[in-house]
A and B are shown apart, each in its own frame.
Chain A
Amino acid sequence: MNNTIKLRVKRSATDDFDEFTIPVQKWTTVLECILHAKHQFDHSIAVRYSCRQATCGSCGMKINGKPSLACFTKVSEIDSDTITVEPMSNFPIIRDLAVKFDRLFENHRKVMPYMDNTPPESSRMHIQSPAELDKFIQFANCIKCGLCNSACPTMATDTSFTGPQALAQAYRYVADSRDKDKDKRLRIIDDSHGIWRCHFAGSCSQVCPKGVDPAMGIQLLRGYMLGLSD
């Protein structure tokens, strides 16, 4: 690999790309490249990030066309000396690489991502077996980065779609043995812009950086609603 790469950053003011030559090492991440460009060449580049370790979900963007976390994508993983970064699709752009998450959070809130925590009458606490935990823990890994919504082909044409992020979270609670609000939640997603809009293209799962596999959650949820799975 060369010791420099060409970084192309999509700028919202000009609707064009600015190019920077960035020195890199094996472990350099795309986020570090962007920050290098920001610190050394052009401090007006807008980029959102926080944890730098794939935990906060703020640095999602399209890297060479594919929705990815900038902090979780190493330059050495990309088979190219040119790295093009653009804001995620299907989200309104605030500036440059920073996009608005209002609708993602709104949809997330809409599916009631919380539990009625009243313990069962017979006991003072909820008892859950490891097998019951396994049914939903994968979906609880979601960091709300929005990459799935950016990759989703339904989202590409219908921004009123609830989206893979929120639908997978609906399943996270429906699959939880402690949950008492299944029916309420199912009524919310049983909508023409809700779960039935998913065509199982699977792109959400291809880009999810946390192994949530939203496509699996959505199909299992639909199976549950159709009475095919428990």
Chain B
Amino acid sequence: MFESLSQKLDSAFKSIRGQGRLTEKNMKDGLQEIRMALLEADVNYKVVKKFMAEVLEAAEGQKVLESIHPGQQIVKIVHDELIKLMGEKNEPLRMADKAPTIIMMVGLQGQGKTTTSGKLALKLKKSGRKPLLVGADVYRPAAIQQLEVVAKQAGVESFSLGTNANPVDICLMARGEAQMRGCDVIILDTAGRLHVDDQMMNEVRQIATQVNPTEILFVANAMTGQDAVSSAKQFNDVLPLTGVVLTQMDGDARGGAAISLIEVTGCPVKFVGTGEKLEALDAFHPNRMADQILGMGDVVSLVEKAQEVVDQEEAIKFQKKARKGEMNLEDFLKQMQQVKKMGNMADLMSKIPGMSKMMPADAMDQAEDEIKYVEAMIYSMTPLERKKPRIINGSRRKRIAAGSGTSVQQVNGLIKEFDKMKKMMKKMMRGGKGGKRMRGMAGPPPGLGR
């Protein structure tokens, strides 16, 4: 099967690990492996060339450290160089000093501009802004309807003038519209276009010069290949790009395009798209991305994400109860709903290093299915049964099974599992360490505890 970039690098270093010393020769082999891995990860070949020269230069100046494996030493060098290339820290969205802030989304066809516009709107809304989504794609069939639906889903305002209007006019009018509706951020969803289509590139240039956006974000798919360099370069030549959004990062593409895009545009990646739900937009953290590329995982971002979704107060209440062993099925249900809000479990799991190896994808999927059953069972219980699972006797179990479309065995399983978990949580919470690190996460989801 196809290995991830991090696995590739792992195996590249394995061959020189344990040799004790970093010689010119064994470093060369390792670097050649990295070069191939980067190419297979879709980093543009010119970018790879430049990057490898930098790595070599950085490595050559260094003394061989006797205390660590040569592989580790190279990992550190490559890691540092990757971070240097991607920028040291996450760059937040620019906000205009005087409202409105105007964010313009541009890119090739089918990259996810409309969905990302909706995600951004939702994020801004959550942070207390009032965004206006503007449909400026008059070409693709039903693109404007799509934006309107997305706006409704995000609970934000939208504006468009139908498919007969000129996109430049639409964008120009958005300003007044925003003012009228009291919106302080305008998000312009422009049509996807080819960088070699002069007429369309001219249109997007006109929009940019006349509207003068605060941010112009180039939206590109994480699966993009070598050509990322040519399209990004052309867009960057025509428009003053300010950032990149990398979509479909929840797939298994190795995402080398990120490195190409940063190198070519000189712009930071500001966000990454990690799913089809509107919540699935994460900040880009160069350090973590480098970690991820090198197989060190992305635990921090997972924990942060969990914290964002989980109601803090609820979580604290739950922790107290869990520590005392007083958790009931009502709490259990709430926790599960929190977990579900975090999005596809498989996405989350894939961020934990080693997890994807330990748990095959279908096992994670089963876990999601299990949540559905567990939910149905708990919904079929009376409030008293949820609070005091002890009272659930044989006849109650039969009723619950019938009500939830499950079997008595499944109900038995749930109660047994719940008991076990309650004990385990009590132990874990008292233990301190584990509980602290995963604060806000509030315990493992059911089905994963086994």
Question: Are A and B subunits of one complex?
Answer: no
